[in-house]
Every structure is written in C-alpha cells, then in structure tokens.
Amino acid sequence: MIKVTEEYSIYVNGVGIEWDEWQEGDFIVLSHGEPEDAFQHLYQAVDYIMEVTGQKVKEVDTKLLEDQIIVLNKQLSEIKALVPTVDPNFVVSQFTRSNVRGIFDQKVVRELNKVINPAGIIASVGSIRYDKNQATGKLTLALTKSGGAVEEGESFEKINWDNNCKMYGLKPEHFGKEVTITGDFYILNGIKPNNRKYPIIATEKLGGRNVKLPYNLVKDALERIGAL
C-alpha cells in the first residue's frame, strides 16, 4: 500500500493499492486513520501520489469520503462500547460482604453483557462464595426467545421468565405483575426452573424482601385478578 507516513495507508476506490498501481483519474475515497482526520489524510495522500508518480489527481470524491466517515464513526462507536471502562480509582484489597456482589454485577457481568448481548445472550451471576483472596460466582447465560439481540434495558430475569413461564402455565406479560397471596402483596420478577417446589421469585411490595413461591399459588392469584 502507498505509505503517506508511518501511520497511514492509501485506499483508491475503496481498495488498498501499491503506489505503482495508481492510475491517473482514480478516485481516492479513504485514507486510513481516525475518521475525523480523514479529510486531512486524504489531501496528504493526493500530494504524495502526485509527488511520487508525477501524475495529477483528476478528482477527489469527497462525497464517497463523507459516506465512509459516517460508516467508520458508527463502527468506531460500536467498538468503543465493547471496551470495558477502566476506572483508575477502582482498587480491591480484599473481597468482603459489602463489595463482592457489586464487583460481580458491575465489573464482571455488566462488561460481559456488552460483548454478548448483541448475539442474543445475557449473563447473570447467582450465588457467590468468597474469602478475602478469592471469589467464585455461579454464572448463568440465557438466550433471548426471539434469537435476536438483547434489547436495551431488557433484564436477565425478564428473558429467563419469557423462556420458562409456559411450563408453569404462566405468560410473558405476567412478569412484573402484582398479586396477592395469603393477604400479602408481591411483584412477580423471576423464575428458577431448578427449584421444583418453589420456582417463582417475587418481591414483597412492602418489605422489599425476595421470596420463593409455589407456582400453583401464583396461578390462583393471577386467576383471581382475571390475568389468566
């Protein structure tokens, strides 16, 4: 490829070329580098080609260049979104009850989900065991029911509910529903299929405590409010 400097290569009609392959009148559509600097690099390329080959550049197609910049900026944003955020002030001297869950949720699972969500996969960490030097978490992956990318704001609990609710006679729209069981109000917000006796997870509306419920009581509660 034609080297403009140590950092840049020249593309003609979207294809990398050797300098002796340059043809007078060819369009230069992109010079390599940061997209926002592409115009500057482009004209460096033009000057270089004319200097090396002795040929004049017939036309610089800036419209094609602008289109390329838009595409590259989009790709650059997507790539940057996948790069874990580095916090120089985040230092852990030991694992403790107050920090271990946050480390898994905010520093491990959140960053992992940035990478796998576009593939229709979402991660969650369940039970955690730790001592001051080591922590082990149970990582669970779930697939979206549609097979498409995880939508912004969509949670692991909701996707897991959608995937498993039918086996208990429930529906996707029951997630987040408020029900009354034995006089207490609960918000339905999870399913654990491995728990045969109490597979439905709910949060007490008043106390905020998470509880496990048998699915038959949940179905009865939904029927009472006409949701089944």
**Whether residue 141 has pLDDT greater than 70:** yes
Indicate the burial class of 199 (C-beta count within 10 angstroms; 0-12, 13-18, 19 or more).
buried
Instruction: Tell me the mean pLDDT in the region 96-103.
Output: 92
85 vs 199, more confident: 199
- pLDDT tier for residue 1 given thresholds of 50, 70 and 90: very low
Instruction: Tell me the mean pLDDT in the region 138-164.
Output: 88
**Whether residue 161 has pLDDT greater than 80:** yes
Q: How many helices (H) and strands (E) would you count in the chain? A: 6, 9
**Whether residue 216 has pLDDT greater than 90:** yes
16-42 pLDDT, tens digit each: 444 455 454 444 444 444 444 555 555
- The CA-based angle 68-72-74, given to 5 degrees, is 120
CA distance 101 to 99: 6
- The CA-based angle 142-95-130, given to 5 degrees, is 60
**Whether residue 112 has pLDDT greater than 80:** yes
Non-local CB neighbours of 211 within 8 Å, separated by 6+ positions:
186, 201, 202, 203, 204
- pLDDT tier for residue 106 given thresholds of 50, 70 and 90: confident
- pLDDT tier for residue 13 given thresholds of 50, 70 and 90: very low
Domain boundaries of the chain, sorted by first residue: 10-82, 100-154, 160-224
